[in-house]
Structure 1
Amino acid sequence: MFIRNERSIKEFMQSYPVVSTLIIINLVLWLFINFLQLPIGLMIHDWAIGYNLFVAAGEYWRLVTPIFLHGDLMHVLFNSFSLVLFGPALEQMLGKLKFPFAYLGVGIIGNIATYLFEPLHYAHLGASGSIYGLFGIYVFMIFFRKDLMDSGSTQMIKAIVIIGLIMTFFRPNINIFAHLGGFIGGLIIAPLVLKNVRAYNPWQQRRYRTDDDSIQFDPNRWNKKRILPTKLKQNLPWIIIGILALFGLLSRFF
C-alpha cells in the first residue's frame, strides 16, 4: 500500500489529485511565507496561524487553516513526503470526497485538542495532526478491518505509529496534543469513512486513453521493459524530497 509504483510525478498527480493538491498548497504557502517572504504570504500567515487566544475570541477558522501552514523547510518536506507515502491508498479507498473530509476532520480534531489543553498564548501550525489522523485510520483497519490491509502494510504501520508516538514525546517543539488528538480523531471517524470501501489496488490507476478518449487498462503493461535509469530519473524529485525529509528528521535527534 505504501510503496509508490507510479512511473512519474505526472502519473501520480493524475492518479491522486487530492493528495497532490494538498502537497502543492503546502509547498506554495511555504514558499510565499517562509522563502520569498512576500507581503501577501505574511498576511496569510498572520491571518491563518493557529493561536488559541484568537480562537477564544471567535476566530474559529484558525482551527482549520494551520493545517496548511509550516515552519522550516524540513517541516513542510517531512509532512508532504508523509502525504506522498500514506495518502494515496486512502484517497483511492475513500474517494475524492471522503478523503479530504477525513484529512481535514482529523486535523481539526487535533487543533481542537490543542485549543483545549494548551494555554491561550500557544501558537501552532502544521499538518502533523492530519498525518497522525491518517495513522489512526490505518490502525483502525488493523484491528477492525483486516480485509483492507495486507500483512506487510500492517507491520509497517505498527512500526511507524510506535516510532511516531515516541518522537511526539521526545522531540522538542512538538504539538503533542495535535498529534494525539489527530490520531484519536482518526480512530473515531474511521468507522464512518471506511464504510463500504474496498481494499487498495495498486494497479487501479494504471490506465491509458485510447483514440476515442475512453479509459482502459493497458493490456501490454506486463510486456513493457522497465529501464531502471529512466524510472529513477522520473522519480528523482520524490527521492530528493524523501532524502531531505529524512535528514531533517535525523537533525532533530542529533
Structure 2
Amino acid sequence: MSQVTQAHADELVRGAAALGVELDEAGRQGLLAYLALLAKWNKAYNLTAVRDVDEMVSRHLLDSLSVVPHFLAAGGERWLDVGSGGGMPGIPLAILFPDKRLTLLDSNGKKTRFLTQVKLELKLHNLEVIHSRVEAYQPAQAFDGIVSRAFSSLEDFCNWTRHLGDGSTRWLAMKGVHPAQELAALPEDFRVEAEHALSVPGCQGQRHLLILRRSMTGTGENHG
C-alpha cells in the first residue's frame, strides 16, 4: 500500500461513520487494499480522472459508501453495477457485504482486466466481472438491483438495462446535480420510487440518488 497512508485510513473510517456505515477491520482493510490497487493501476490504465489518492478517498470510496443505507434498504441478493469503470460502487459494496452477489459490467477491456485483478487479489468470491456492452448482456435471470454511477442519462440507463430487471427490481442511479431534465425524459414504464440528496464527506459538489422501479405492464415491457 505504498501510496495509502494512515491518514487515508483515518479519513475513510471518519467518513464512513459520518455516512452511518460501520466498518469492521476486514472491511477497512479491504477498502484500503482496493484504494492501493486503484492508485497503482490508474497510472497505466486511466481508470479515473482523479489522480490524487487523497481525493480518491472522498470522491470514490466515500461516494460509493454513501449509497449503502439505500442499497441495504432495497434488499435483494443479486446486484449489477453497470458501466462499473474502476469498480465504483460495485467493489466497495462487494467488500462490505460478502452475502451479496455483485456483477460488474463494462465494455472497456482495460477496465475489466483491472476489475478481474481486484477480484483475484482481494479474493472477492461474491464478485463477477463481465466484459460486454450492456445492450448485449443476456443473463439467465433478472437482477434484484441495478446500480450506476455517472454512467449515462436516466433515459439511456433505463432503456439499456430494461431487459436486465423486472417488476421487483430497483434501479439506483447515482447522480451529481438533481437531474430534472433527465427525469422529464424518463421512459413511460419507469417511475421514481424515491429521491435522496446525499452528503459525502470531503466532496463539495451536489450528490443525488434516484431509486426507480419498472411497471411490467408499461410500453417497454417487450423491448430490449
TM over 0.5: no
Q: As a proportion of its length, which structure holds more strand?
A: 2
Question: TM-score under structure 1 normalisation?
Answer: 0.30
Q: Which has the higher contact order (CA 8 A, sep 6+)?
A: 1
- Largest Rg, 1 or 2: 1
Question: What is the TM-score when the length of structure 2 is the normalising length?
Answer: 0.33
